[in-house]
Structure 1
Amino acid sequence: MTDDVKQSDTTVMVVDDVPTNRYAMGAVLRRAGHHVVPVASAGEALSELDIRLRAGALPDVALVDVGLPDMSGFELCRRVKSTPSTAALPVVHFSATAVDTRDRCRGLDAGADAFLSVPAEPREIQAVVHAAVRRARRRTEAEALAHRLTLLSQAVITVQTARCLGELADAAAAGASRLTGTPAVVFVIGPDGEAHHGTSRSRLALSDAGPHQAAARLITRIADRRAGVHSTVVPAPLWPTGLFRPGARDDAHLVLASTTEGRAQVCIATPASAAPRRGAGNCATGRDGLADDRRPIAAFPAERLAEATALAAEPLLMYQAERDIALTLQHSFLPQPHRLPHLPGVDLVVRYVPASRQTEIGGDFYAALPTRDGVLTAVGDVVGHSLDAATVMVEIRHALRAYCVEESDPRALAERLDRMLLHYHPDVTATVCLALLDPGTGRVRIANAGHIPPVIMRAEGKAEYVDVGGPLLGLALERPEPSELVLNPEDRLLMVTDGLIETRGIDLTTSMEQLRTAAAGAPPGLDALCDTLLGCFGHDREDDIAMLALRLG
């Protein structure tokens, strides 16, 4: 016998209605070290298979006499092979009479793996059984390998499409759980030590963050920013209780991965009982610090998944750092509501809501500035989503502050901003709506550069968009004259960026009508107006939201 099939691990079912034949065949197999299960008929064989199937202990091979009394060995084989739960069981037909070519072909057509003519030498019987078992085990291993590779590829694809570090950790934990068949917890730790964790179980299963924080600190000490992929086992007394199963204390098998740059440290943790027995201790790594490609991919699926998660975490960490910088830039240059300048004769409320954390930062802004001719308000958006967009937003806002010291006409200001953008950022476009309000008369002049027009809400409960348009900034196109209207003391004027209402797959005209309807039905007051609209439209947005509402004070 070769080392891939051991007789002591092999159970053979012998199906023969003649007791002496069953005894003789069984004796040959037992002497070779096999476990033998003798049965006397096809019906008894099917019943025995059913019992063993429920117990999870199917035989490794069935030797079936062709001439059984209740049904032929061919029909028994056909039934076994047509049942999904027993289809992989190797069947070897044997007979002392049905030995011609036609009989052998009938057996093969029924799904048999081999045909044995008896009487036969013991060595031949053993060789046929061994060959059938070897083929079946290799086929089963190949199917298991394909299944593991499929699960691994699905997990890697899900990990690579994650939009944020929390989503990445959850995807990796779900994939690791499917690969190992056990609960899994995944930690993604950035260069600043900030840890994001994901679990294959419900987040409600462990509401206390303490165990996750303790595990993250332990992982950081073990990893020590070591590049590559390696694994270790943490004894239960050192591993936080309940991370895998509520109240359970488990040894933890940790697979740790870090890319060469070392910005992201990933740890996949599973109960140590699920860890592969092969390669105990640290697994091999290549010169690049990643898993050695000479090893079978599916033999170490958790290591490969950890490696893919670490690679996917790198750009997300870089994006998060850029996003944090852009948010800081926006918040530092946008006036906070409690720091807005005092504007006599005008009540003003602003709102600024950054996009959802998994989306890119935008270039939305608002401004409220005193001028010699009244109060100038502006709401705008730099086209694009990046740190560059946020930077250009700051430039536009500061340019507007500088220009309005000597010039207050909205159209003239839009033209100046257009020239500034063309000169310094010829590849960038932006939208802006500018409104100049004279608090003494209520007269408002509005210029628009490709932006959503303002909504005016009259005292009688009606809301309508101001009829004002114009090309985007950065296109060097002629601008129309500003629109004019008179704001009464009970009226409110609302200016917003499209992040409030723009929804993928919905026409902007439809969204604008929904906004107008909601504004018309909003309760009195500026704060109530803004809060109502944010409650209607401001959830999980893919773009920043800037709002400015005013009325005569």
Structure 2
Amino acid sequence: METKGKLTGTTVLVVDDMEASRYAMGSVLSRAGHRVVPVATGREALAELETRLLKGTLPDVALVDVGLPDMSGFDLCRLFKERPHTAGMPVVHFSAAASPPADFCQGLDGGVEAYLKVPAEPLEIEAVVRAAVRNAQLRAGDRALVRRLTLLSETIVTIQSARTLQELSDAAAEGVSRLTGTPAAVFVLDQDDQLYRGLSRDRIPVALPDEAADRAVSALLRRLTRGQAGVQLTTVPAPLWPAGFFRPGVQHDARLALVVSQDGRAPVCLAAPARGMRRVGLEGEALLAQLAQATALAAEPLLMYKVERHVALTLQHSFLPQPHKLPELPGIDVVVRYVPASRQTEIGGDFYAALRVDEGVLTAVGDVVGHSLDAATVMVELRHALRAYAVDESDPAVLAERLDRTLRRYHPDTTATVCLALIDPDTGRTRIANAGHIPPLIVRDNGTADYAEAAGPLLGVGLPHPPATELFLEPTDRLLMVTDGLIETRGTDLTASLEHLRAASSGALPGLDALCDTLLDTFGHDREDDIAMLALRLG
């Protein structure tokens, strides 16, 4: 505490082997309101600091005699500065003996704040101690600010790389906790009133707030941000803030940093205990406000992607026939599966089709390259083009060629893969055209499975497509067509993934549903891409 220009209440370590000198220095400092810790040697000073370090009561400044009996004051200062916990403690050298200028330089080079020639006037001693402590506090404040700014930058980078609103909430909560040194919670309320909640890791992971607490926070956020613009800092008293977000079952006044998305519909809230926030002061609150704004900006594309994903899934579900609405396919049993990507930021262009044609049944599984609403839209166009072409053409290779020309004309910057199979239910004759897709897998009832030897260039690159590959299905054979979202994993070679798929298929129980369900149970968890799957056999 500073009173009338003096720092009082500070603790001063006085290191001097002369008892009378220690007493005189201690008396001056005590009368000025300081707490004095006198020791006689360098080793005693180091031992005293070790003891105080355990208690968390390090001195604010050390006054060290240059000529100690066991080590020089220069050596003692060097030991202070070499230890992380005492490196920031200011040191003032003093000496009753005449010292050459080199001693002054040596002390300053070693990190000493000042040099006193004793005996000195009490006012001079007080002023030197006051200046040393104040300078140390300023340096400590600067270091703390730099640390907080670094933490802020690191957190912003992390939240900007978040791929879902939940990841963003978790990362922002951890950043608030590191900035404030308190437990923290972050909330993002999307346009559909779905609340995404992130809690910092230092919160004990038991007795999480229930749905009623989430509903209360959602209503509070809507009320506090209605008609607001920019960042708003406010305190919500404990009776109005649900218990348990910071400590299990404990009520706290909450200090909130609130901001809404650019369209004003999605509130973002960073929350920490009000008592803990008082420790970080105005600078800490300013950084919290900056983090809130950065979180809202990072949430914008995720919120938009969520809407886009909903539109894309609506398109996919609208245009892909549902399993119970597949057309009647005489002589062929067909089972389909479609599973959207687990991550909200992934929208695929996967599709399947099963059509009655003049020469039998035409099936297809394809994937428009890319993950966006555009990919889903092109998927719909390709599927409709296939249906139109199949009215008077059944040859899979010819259909692949036509789809390639359609894609190049109307979407020249887009590519896609597709596998087409034409099956004659009476004979089992099957012709396959594969445009850059995973080849169909023939699963036999003897526990073996092999990929059809069908390959060709993907759609959209303008390369000629080879004639269809021909094979014959036995009545007990199952033909499986999938998109790569089922098996493709970053860092895993596709050849290995294909072998895993073949092995899992060969070990599946009989039946089309059993085959699809086995593969989804084996591969279909937390996938980063959509999955389309079609399995058939002669009926």
Give the TM-score normalised by the residue count of structure 1. Answer: 0.91
1:149-548 equivalences under 5 Å are 149-200=149-200, 201=203, 204-206=206-208, 208-276=210-278, 300-548=286-534
The 1:55–1:459 alpha-carbon spacing in structure 2 relative to 1, beyond 3 Å, is closer
- CA 1:313–1:377 in 2, change beyond 3 Å: closer, same or farther? same
Instruction: Decide whether the 8 Å contact of 1:228 with 1:259 is kept in 2.
Output: no
Range that drifts further, 452-461 or 315-324:
452-461
Match of 1:62 in 2: 62
The answer to whether the 8 Å contact 1:497/1:546 transfers is: yes
Q: Which amino acid aligns with 1:303?
A: A
Is the contact between residue 340 and residue 368 of structure 1 (CA under 8 Å) also seen in structure 2? yes
Q: In the alignment, is the contact (CA less than 8 A) between 2:354 and 2:364 conserved in 1?
A: yes
Identity of aligned residues (%): 66
Q: 1:15 to 1:223 in 2, by over 3 A?
A: same
Distance change (3 Å), C-alpha of 1:491 and 1:278 = closer
User: What is the one-letter code of the residue matched to 2:449?
Assistant: A
Counterparts of 1:24 and 1:104 in 2: how far apart (Å)?
23
Instruction: Determine the structure 2 residue equivalent to 1:16.
Output: 16
Could you tell me how far 1:340 is from its partner in structure 2?
0.9
CA distance in 2, matches of 1:350, 1:475: 29
Counterparts of 2:16 and 2:276 in 1: how far apart (Å)? Answer: 41
Distance 1:278 1:83 in 2: 26
Q: Give the superposition deviation at 1:45.
A: 3.0
Q: What is the CA-CA distance between 1:299 and the residue it aligns to?
A: 5.8
Mapped partners of 1:319, 1:4: distance in 2: 59
Asked if structure 1 preserves the Cα contact closer than 8 Å seen for 2:261 and 2:268, the reply is: no
Cα distance in structure 1, aligned partners of 2:221 and 2:406:
51
Q: Secondary structure at the match of 2:155?
A: helix
Letter aligned with residue 125 of structure 2: I
Tell me the amino acid that sits aligned with residue 474 of structure 2.
N
Shift of 1:2: 8.5
CA contact (8 A) 1:263 1:314 kept: no
Q: CA shift at 1:261, angstroms?
A: 3.6
Residue range with higher mean Cα deviation, 19-28 or 186-195 = 19-28
Tell me, in whole angstroms, the C-alpha distance in 2 between the residues paired with 1:192 and 1:311.
18
Is contact 1:426-1:474 (8 Å) kept? Answer: yes
Judge which range, 343-352 or 81-90, deviates more. 81-90
> What's the counterpart of residue 552 of structure 1?
538
The farther-off stretch of 301-310 and 352-361 is: 352-361
Gaps of 5+ in 2: none
* 1:140-159 CA distance string (max 9 Å, x none): 11111111111111111111
SS at match of 1:323: helix
Deviations 1:272-331 (A, max 9, x none): 101237888xxxxxxxxxxxxxxx6x5622111111101100111111111111011101
Whether the 8 Å CA contact 1:235–1:250 is kept in 2: the answer is yes
Deviations 1:204-263 (A, max 9, x none): 541633212221221221121511111111111111111111111111111112354424
Judge conservation of contact 1:256–1:267 (CA < 8 Å) in 2. Answer: yes
Length, aligned pairs only: 537
SS in 1 for 2:447: coil
Q: What are the Cα deviations for residues 511-541 of structure 1, in whole angstroms up to 9, with x where unaligned?
A: 2222222222222111111112222222222
The residue aligned with 2:53 is: 53
Whole-angstrom CA distance in 2 between matches of 1:6 and 1:122: 13
Please report how far the alpha carbon of residue 270 of structure 1 lies from its aligned counterpart in structure 2 after TM superposition: 0.8
- Residues 10-19 or 446-455, more deviating: 10-19
Instruction: Measure, in 2, the Cα distance between the counterparts of 1:77 and 1:471.
Output: 74
Name 1:94's counterpart in structure 2: 94
User: Does the aligned pair in 2 maintain the 1:228–1:260 contact within 8 Å?
Assistant: no
Cα distance in 2 between the residues matched to 1:248 and 1:435: 63
> How far apart are the structure 1 equivalents of 2:84 and 2:281?
34
State the alpha-carbon separation in 2 of the partners of residues 492 and 446 from structure 1. Answer: 15
The match for 1:116 is 116
Q: Is the 8 A contact 1:4 1:134 kept in 2?
A: no
* 8 Å Cα contact 1:91/1:112 also seen in 2: yes
Amino acid corresponding to residue 128 of structure 1 in structure 2: V
Name which of structure 1's ranges 507-516 and 318-327 shifts more when overlaid on structure 2. Answer: 507-516
Secondary structure at the counterpart of residue 460 of structure 1 = coil
Which SS does the other structure have where 1:275 is aligned?
helix
After TM superposition, the structure 1 stretch with the greater mean CA deviation from structure 2, 69-78 or 232-241, is: 69-78
Q: Could you tell me how far 1:269 is from its partner in structure 2?
A: 0.9
Q: What's the RMSD between the two structures over aligned residues?
A: 2.3
Q: Which moved more, 1:92-101 or 1:225-234?
A: 92-101
Q: For 1:206, what is the secondary structure of its paired residue?
A: coil
Cα distance 1:490–1:113, how it changes in 2: closer, same or farther (>3 A)?
same
